[in-house]
Structure 1
């Protein structure tokens, strides 16, 4: 069995690959959905039509996430195996991206069929993503450190994916799909070099799902995960359309502005995750969420692209304070043989949040305007921090998850 540090590096690379592939598509969603068959006549520069077309493309993937994240986790806990399932999810997800890129060039594909393929690609991809993070949970070395590694990989994937995707759209609307497929195929092979340290096995999947009913304390990190991902979904679609329609940016410029959030979000996750091992989860989660919500609102009121970029940097730093501590809290509360379903549940709620950010954000922005949408999302982050503090204070986890463990 190789060292925990080597496993941490490999698994972090897999998480990076999944997020990189996903975010590659975001800067040019308006162009991509038209190329995939959404009716170009319905666009005509109308912001509402653009939001609607992109909304369903993003939603289809996350419906797959919501329905299957817990099932992947339960299966891994029941079998006691994680890495083969990660490899399978990555390979099938890559196939989904490839089908989206190739099929329109071969046959006339109705947009509804595109959405079905997108859904199936989401079903597969969430397996690779959720179980790679779960395998990180199985490592020694401190939960904050391990989840900081996951957060760093998530942040780097999104930080690099946005600007690279913006440039790739300049070559062609399907190029990001081909690159996403290639990256995921590589990730599926790479994960086979990681050790499988799961302590599960021999449990029925339905029995594993009972974990979420019995461990009600998991509702606290799940709630934060829902709202945090809601903001990510909001920026993936509404933020992208806002930057292009109101600030006059193209796909490349949008990718760079999204990168102003994702780069600090990536770079600060590992050190801030380790910080939460030392000072506990309450301050990073609660105080970070308050500041995160305020920073989101400030993006809308930034008068220029430059000041909007500064605001996005602040959003990234505050997000990096919250994200690894929240995922580490899941690890703190779940027993070793229930981590797959616990992280799967966390990703279900996170995916529901992402969906709410896409659908709710697009609906509010289309009917009430961008200002109302930004205020709603930012204040939701503030509200969850205020409401959840009493529940955070009741969680008895300091001697479980916040001690430093020696690496295996």
Structure 2
């Protein structure tokens, strides 16, 4: 199979994992209530935190294992199947008479599996030729389109049955597992001990730059997934389906522009997309919170998506720029640890600030953090790039 074919199939797997995850967001309040968690925003917060806590604990483990084994495909299949099983188990909890604590435990188990499928499918994209920005742009497009479709269809599912998003997510993950089984491994892993791989990644402090951006970027995603949805529903009176469509106004341009933005960064370097993109992204997040009408807020969500599209793939490409091929699994696992911590922070920061002080302070906090990381890390990003990338030879000029 060609790299282009593999890139498409791997992007579909990343897309599937995100679809299954975002199915739950628009109707989260209804789903959590049906599972016995009540209808308060903090119950939804813990429902999401349980899964992302497992992401944090397990992302690097999957990456180290794939680098040490020199295999990624069977681990992606295992992660997707395990995630699908957990979704079905969560949906069955009310029928067997267990409480919300069992739901949270199953969410932890499911997160431990799902992060393997997600992180390693992106790592497999890193293993392909054709340009780091282009490959990470494919991953970013898949993430954005998955989130866009998941937010729209998940909202529709939730209006039919609050547990339908769980069953839909399970079906998508099974499909991702079947597709993953058809993709050959291109891992360059040479069977080094896990401890050696972990030590080599720890000796690359430059990785903290994309890790920090990944943390803040995912924080804003977690913020919109929970607090953003609640904001649109409470402030403008939208139902779950309408809130899902509003989220899609962000995710569609975010998805469509990531592949060209990643390819552009291979030519002009990472600095402008990462730093200037982050500054604009933060400003637009605050603007959404200041919007006086639903129509204006929805229009600003499109602009937020455009800005985010330049940041996401370029940040992931920085990881690939820094580490050699044999350490990509561990490095991307580390990136996803910081990203998952960011999602957790987004749920908690957004939910707690909105609960205590209101929605505008929550938007100011999320947007302000994005602006801050762009300012504080701009010099470090410039030291990593700019660079010119040749699709055959790799990085040929720095």
How far apart, CA to CA, are the structure 2 residues paired with 1:75 and 1:357?
28
Q: SS of 1:141's equivalent? A: coil
How far apart, CA to CA, are the structure 2 residues paired with 1:334 and 1:392?
15
Identify the residue that residue 283 of structure 2 maps to in structure 1.
Answer: 294
1:397 CA displacement? 6.7
Matched, 1:67 2:67: no
Matches within 5 A, 1:5-404: 5-39=4-38, 43=39, 50-105=40-95, 107-395=96-384, 398=387, 402-404=388-390
1:244 CA displacement? 0.8
1:392 CA displacement? 1.2
Which 10-residue stretch deviates more, 71-80 or 207-216? 207-216
1:218 CA displacement? 0.4
Moved over 3 A (4+): none
Is the 2:27–2:159 contact (alpha carbons within 8 Å) kept by the matching residues of 1? Answer: no
Q: What is the aligned length?
A: 394
Cα distance change of structure 1 residues 316 and 108 upon mapping to structure 2, 3 Å threshold: same
Q: SS of 1:27's equivalent? A: coil
1:302 CA displacement? 1.3
| Residue ranges of structure 2 left out of the alignment (5+ in a row) | none
How far apart, CA to CA, are the structure 1 residues paired with 2:351 and 2:159?
25
How far apart, CA to CA, are the structure 2 residues paired with 1:329 and 1:138?
14
1:236 CA displacement? 0.7
1:170 CA displacement? 1.4
Is the 1:333–1:397 contact (alpha carbons within 8 Å) kept by the matching residues of 2? Answer: no
Q: SS of 2:356's equivalent? A: helix
How far apart, CA to CA, are the structure 2 residues paired with 1:325 and 1:27?
28
Is the 2:270–2:385 contact (alpha carbons within 8 Å) kept by the matching residues of 1? Answer: no
Identify the residue that residue 405 of structure 1 maps to in structure 2.
Answer: 391
The Cα offsets for residues 177-235 of structure 1, whole Å up to 9 and x where unpaired, read as 11100000010010111120000131112222223311110000000000000000001
How far apart, CA to CA, are the structure 1 residues paired with 2:85 and 2:190?
29
The Cα offsets for residues 130-166 of structure 1, whole Å up to 9 and x where unpaired, read as 0000000000000001000000100100011101001
Is the 1:4–1:407 contact (alpha carbons within 8 Å) kept by the matching residues of 2? Answer: no
Cα distance change of structure 1 residues 312 and 396 upon mapping to structure 2, 3 Å threshold: closer
How far apart, CA to CA, are the structure 1 residues paired with 2:345 and 2:253?
24
Is the 1:332–1:397 contact (alpha carbons within 8 Å) kept by the matching residues of 2? Answer: no
How far apart, CA to CA, are the structure 2 residues paired with 1:397 and 1:336?
20
Is the 2:3–2:129 contact (alpha carbons within 8 Å) kept by the matching residues of 1? Answer: yes
Which 10-residue stretch deviates more, 57-66 or 366-375? 366-375
Is the 1:148–1:273 contact (alpha carbons within 8 Å) kept by the matching residues of 2? Answer: yes
1:174 CA displacement? 0.8
Identify the residue that residue 2 of structure 2 maps to in structure 1.
Answer: 3
When the two structures are superposed, what TM-score results if normalisation uses the length of structure 1? Answer: 0.95
1:391 CA displacement? 0.9
Q: SS of 2:390's equivalent? A: coil
How far apart, CA to CA, are the structure 2 residues paired with 1:338 and 1:397?
22
The Cα offsets for residues 75-128 of structure 1, whole Å up to 9 and x where unpaired, read as 0000000011000000000000011112322x1111111100001100000000
Q: SS of 2:160's equivalent? A: coil
Which 10-residue stretch deviates more, 192-201 or 291-300? 192-201
How far apart, CA to CA, are the structure 2 residues paired with 1:212 and 1:237?
33
1:404 CA displacement? 2.1
Identify the residue that residue 46 of structure 1 maps to in structure 2.
Answer: none
How far apart, CA to CA, are the structure 2 residues paired with 1:329 and 1:339?
12
Query: RMSD value over aligned CA atoms?
Result: 1.2
1:407 CA displacement? 9.7
Q: SS of 1:201's equivalent? A: coil
